[in-house]
Structure 1
């Protein structure tokens, strides 16, 4: 994307083409102007246009340019935090409301895919959070207990059951979440865009916002060549915010994450690794994730950036890590490589921010973008439609300020992951 083969890698090669959308080159009026063409912005546009609202969406680059087009494609439920810890961060009322919405999030994603016939390689077979050692298994026992008391369809699998599902004896157990699944993330974003267009939304790519201001009862949002006047403003830029909304980026510490995709595996080999096609991630601090795609490639990822020597280091580590998990993959080559940035808040909970009258945005997905982004887009649409109020949203309204020592922390995460993987190559 934008002539960078390491931005979206396999997903750009295998996704259906994006719908044709011009840059904004005129003055327009709408009920709502949305800034950002990822899951949140596109979901919001789709839900608003479906209810008859006039919508203009402005995307600086292309749909799914940020995290929406670069992630591994796990449709997870909930947050990184333990469920019981969410209430301690946002309060009991918001906490349980948030857990219910995000627990049901994969169902919303899958229903939109079905309703709008989005071709995005959807798999509904759940995900496996795999335990590394005894401490990892203890963590998963706690997660299981906390989700079960909320009625979630999760179950802790022992080492043998995990080995049968994953194809390796490397894990002490795993937490199977039947709500979850996998998809092709860029294809899903492009499918949401196509559905929003069909519903009547006006979408503009290559339209970075350069200014936004409140004028009387309306918002005036300008690009370099056009302008939108709207009663409502929705900001959906997350960790890739630019211009007047760069604050959504600066309020987070960005964690680099890369993915590598093998060549398609033959049927016999593929049947030995994740025969149920679940998505996997583990309990390590510097975690790994993997899942198959429709063509039988194995997509394998971890923390790190494919730049400044990172491409060589992380790829060498990934070959060794895969061979330890699956000896039958020794010597495997990677066909595609790409990476992006995960926006992290200091407490692993997203933020709801009021940018002014009738102007809201949610950011800080902490590596959980597919389901929460889709859900929060719908919730912001319901707010605009008057079907809910700010007090009814799943997050309290909070302020926005730059993350402390942001640059140093980002450098630490990138360099630390590279050093850790370099050390792993020598083991």
Structure 2
């Protein structure tokens, strides 16, 4: 997108075309203005229009330009942190509420895809969290215990069972989560946009919000060529936030994440790797992830940015690591490479902010954007429609807090990932 082949890679190559989303070049009125055309904003638009509101979505770039069009495409339940940590951090009421919402979130995604016939290579066959050693296996065993205590369909696999599902003997075991699956992430974002537009929402691209000011009981959002006037403003920009809500970006520490996609593998090879098509990630601190797309390309990723010295270092690491994990892939060619930014919070949990009267946001998805973004968007729509109040939401209202030493941490993540990948799996 925007002429950058490293921004969306394979997903831009294979996603259906985006629905028409012109610039906002006039002044318009609506009930709800939504800033950001990613999963949260588009889900909010779809649910708000279905609830009877008039809606305009404004994006400074294109539909799915941010993390929604760049991620690996794992539709996971919950957050990175252990389930028991949510009630400890948020209190029992909000913690249990958030666990229920996010535990059920993949089902919401899959049902939306089915209802609106979104072509996004959906594979609702589960995901595998892979243990790289005994301590990783112990972590997964505890994660299984905590989820099963809540009735979740998760199952710990031993080394042999994991090897059969992955096609590699590199892991001590894995946690299978049957709630989860994979999608083509940019295709899902574009499909949500198409569904919202078909239902009556207006979606505008290349329309950055330059300012937001009160006008009586309404808000005026100014773009370079036009403006939107609305009673409610839903800010859904997360890690790609820019002005006028810079405090949202300041709260998040950017963690870069890249992906490489192989050329389509032959049928015999595909039968030996992920034969049931689950998506995977592992328990390393500098984690790796891998999954197939519909055409049989293996998408392999990890922490890091594909810029400067990072591009050759991470590319070489990906080749070595793939050959070590799956020897049949030694020398395989890559058909795509891209990266983006994950917005991390201090406690790895998302945030709900009231930025002003009737101006609200969810942010801080910590690498779990697809399912949480979808259900949080629905929550924002319900709030603006008056169907729920703030006290009914899955997160308490909080004030944005600037992440301490954010720039230092971001530089450390980028350089540290290069250092880790320079030495890992060298032969």
TM > 0.5 between the two? yes
**1:255-334, aligned counterparts within 5 Å?**
255-334=255-334
Match of 2:355 in 1: 355
Partner deviation per Cα, 1:368-410 (whole Å, 9 max, x = no partner): 0000000000011111111111011000110013211111110
Match of 2:74 in 1: 74
Equivalent-residue separation in structure 2 for 1:426 and 1:295 (angstroms): 30
Tell me by how many angstroms 1:339 deviates. Answer: 0.1
| Deviating 4+ runs (over 4 angstroms) | none
Match of 1:138 in 2: 138
Tell me by how many angstroms 1:19 deviates. Answer: 0.6
**1:89-238, aligned counterparts within 5 Å?**
89-238=89-238
Unaligned 5+ runs, structure 1:
none
Equivalent-residue separation in structure 1 for 2:426 and 2:288 (angstroms): 18
Equivalent-residue separation in structure 2 for 1:21 and 1:342 (angstroms): 25
Q: Does 1:369 align with 2:369?
A: yes
Tell me by how many angstroms 1:133 deviates. Answer: 0.5
Partner deviation per Cα, 1:288-320 (whole Å, 9 max, x = no partner): 000000000000000000011111000101111
Higher mean Cα deviation, 399-408 or 115-124? 399-408
Conservation of the 8 A alpha-carbon contact between 1:316 and 1:425: no
Equivalent-residue separation in structure 2 for 1:131 and 1:426 (angstroms): 21
TM-score normalised to structure 1 length? 0.99
Equivalent-residue separation in structure 1 for 2:13 and 2:184 (angstroms): 11
Equivalent-residue separation in structure 2 for 1:330 and 1:290 (angstroms): 16
Equivalent-residue separation in structure 1 for 2:187 and 2:383 (angstroms): 27
TM-score normalised to structure 2 length? 0.99
Match of 1:345 in 2: 345
Partner deviation per Cα, 1:52-101 (whole Å, 9 max, x = no partner): 20001101100110000000000000000000011111111100000000
Conservation of the 8 A alpha-carbon contact between 2:324 and 2:425: no
Conservation of the 8 A alpha-carbon contact between 2:234 and 2:359: yes
Conservation of the 8 A alpha-carbon contact between 1:130 and 1:280: yes
Conservation of the 8 A alpha-carbon contact between 2:320 and 2:426: no
Match of 2:53 in 1: 53
Secondary structure of the corresponding residue to residue 249 of structure 1: helix
Unaligned 5+ runs, structure 2:
none
**1:397-408, aligned counterparts within 5 Å?**
397-408=397-408
Equivalent-residue separation in structure 1 for 2:128 and 2:214 (angstroms): 46
Match of 2:389 in 1: 389
Tell me by how many angstroms 1:425 deviates. Answer: 5.0
RMSD: 0.7
Equivalent-residue separation in structure 2 for 1:164 and 1:131 (angstroms): 14
State the number of aligned residues: 427
Conservation of the 8 A alpha-carbon contact between 1:58 and 1:207: yes
